[in-house]
Structure 1
Amino acid sequence: MLQDLLSVLSGSLVGFILGLIGGGGSILAVPLLYYVVRVGSEHLAIGTGALAVAASALFNLLTHARAGNVKWQCALVFAAAGVAGAFAGAAIGKRVQGELLIGLFGVLMIAVGLLMLRRRSGGNTEVRLTWRLVPRLAGSGFAVGGLSGFFGIGGGFLIVPGLIVSTAMPLINAIGSSLVSVTAFGSATAASYALSDLVVWRVAILFILGGALGGIAGSWASKALADKKQALNYVFSGVVISVGVMIVLDGLRGLFHAFGPVT
């Protein structure tokens, strides 16, 4: 069945991006499920994507953990605060029109991608959780979790800069640590959508299988790019901005058709 094949291929791409940059998987999952796999509605794409990305993120988290890229204490504080925000955000997001959600999603992606293009220092490789960092991590985690739940995404493209700003950890550590929150936020959002019967389970399972394969290749690429300093940051930003522009342009076309001049 064509939809099954597209689900596996789309999942492979998402898994590769998650393994490569620790974020962007859910950014791609929602558009792929909606425009390529064609699950039906925007909300079905969001619910199904959240489940698939959470599972793919968990697989990639194990890979990054074995490589020593995860700052566990900081990651767990960030994730715990964010789960509460994700449930709140998902409850609000399900009440917003699907087309508006997709359009806002694209604008947010472009803004974050541009911010991530700024050149950064190497970061503090010895960062450890302290009482000074706890409120920063908790505040950032709750805010990012709320946006994650609202847009139905794992939120890695927001979590990575959130961890860097809160702790000054290097990008490669922020990527590995972000997968703790991507898994937690995606699971919380998926649970909320599943309770509203907004998950296509067959597609989600095939998407996850594809994501596991793509994640292996993405993790290898991540390790190679980490040695090239700013290259990984450019890849991250390029993926986010490119897909964001595509979504915004599609939304503008929709508005033109809906409100264009009457002939």
Structure 2
Amino acid sequence: MLPLATMGLATGSGAAVGLSLGMVGGGGSILAVPLLTYVVGVSSPHVAIGTSAIAVALSAAGNLVPHGLAGRVKWRCALVFSAAGVLGALAGSTLAKAVDGQKLLALFGLLMLVVGGLMLRPRAGGGDPRVRLTRHTAKELLPLLLGIGFAVGAFSGFFGIGGGFLIVPGLILATGMPLQYAIGTSLVAVSAFGAATAASYAASGLIDWPLAGLFVLGGILGGAIGAGLGRRLAEHKRTLNLAFAGLVLVVGLYVVARGLVPLVAGA
């Protein structure tokens, strides 16, 4: 039985991630590992990554439903991209488990700095909403979907994140689909990559299942609140994105510092 304080911190941390996802969309899941490590108190970076992967997969699966019902998912493209990415995620997560935990945290912090910087840039619109993977387009689309999917999946698996900030531009690069379709389609890949990463860590006993359950529960509650706030603050979407990007950058600097201190001290 987990201590009551730990249960509260895990649920609250999940709610914070869900709130950010509901308000600003993709990118919120990158806060899961720092929250589990520094707020909830998970001592092993590998366990934090494995546990967060479960939350990422389930959160993306839940968010996929409304996008699918609205017809904003290119299912054939999504399945090919995801299949290649799952192989990449398994390779990436296997490599990550062999990396020293403190080094992994320092690298994760650097990743957060990159993500925060990318989030400061406005997303471009445009694209062809009619694009589809068919017998006629496969010669052009299939190599790009497989290659980019594997690369993004490996990155996602190594860091135990959804990788939506890479999957969305990856899908646009591979197919030329519009942004709104790329966002919806990306959730299939995020779910698949998260599940593959979680399975790899679970096989090594590196998931805290009670914490994962509480984190997901908090994420559902926070997501519902965040979605409502996001609709109310829709006209301030750019401001919200900039504020969240700033938060990611600040947390990234903190994670880098915390990850490097033990390495420098042990040198």
TM interval, shorter chain, is 0.7 to 0.9
Corresponding residue number in structure 1 for 2:68: 65
Superposed structure 1 runs of 4+ greater than 6 Å apart: 224-229
Change (3 A) 1:124 1:232: farther
Q: How far apart are residue 199 of structure 1 and its match?
A: 0.7
Q: 108-117 or 209-218, which moves further after superposition?
A: 108-117
TM-score normalised by L of structure 1? 0.86
**CA drift at 1:170:** 3.7
> Is 1:248 matched with 2:251?
no
- 2:214 is matched with 206
Report whether the alignment pairs 1:148 with 2:148: no
Q: 2:57 is matched with which residue: 51, 54, 59?
A: 54
1:198 counterpart SS class? coil
Provide, for residues 77-96 of structure 1, a one-character-per-residue CA deviation record: whole Å limited to 9, x for no partner.
22111001001111111111
> Residues 159, 225 of structure 1: CA spacing in aligned structure 2 closer, same or farther, 3 A cutoff?
farther
Give, as a single letter, the amino acid of the residue that structure 2 aligns with 1:42.
Answer: P
With 77-86 and 112-121 compared, the bigger mean Cα shift is at: 112-121
Do 1:21 and 1:232's aligned partners in 2 also have CA atoms closer than 8 Å?
Answer: yes
Q: Which moved more, 1:185-194 or 1:216-225?
A: 216-225
Pair 1:86-2:89 in alignment = yes
Instruction: Look up the match of 2:195.
Output: 187
Q: Which blocks of at least 5 consecutive residues in structure 1 are unaligned? A: none
Q: How many residues align?
A: 259
Following TM superposition, by how much is the alpha carbon of 1:171 offset from its aligned partner in structure 2, in angstroms?
3.4
Contact map agreement 1:18 1:60 (CA 8 A) in 2 = no
CA-CA distance at 1:70 after TM superposition: 2.8
Q: Which residue of 2 aligns with 1:9?
A: 12
Q: 1 CA distance for matches of 2:29 and 2:242? A: 18
Q: Among 30, 33, 36, which residue is 1:30 paired with? A: 33
Structure 1 residues 74 and 224, CA gap change in structure 2 (3 angstroms): farther
**TM score, norm. by length of structure 2:** 0.85
**Residue 165 (structure 2) pairs with residue 162 (structure 1):** no
> Structure 1 residue 50: deviation in Å?
0.7
Which consecutive unaligned segments of at least 5 residues does structure 2 have?
none
Conservation of the 8 A alpha-carbon contact between 1:4 and 1:203: yes
**Residues 64-84 of structure 1: CA deviation (Å, up to 9, x unaligned):** 333443333322222111001
- The offset of 1:43, in angstroms, is 0.8
Residue 100 of structure 1 deviates from its aligned partner by 0.7
Output the amino acid matched with 1:91.
Answer: T
Residue matched to 1:171: 179
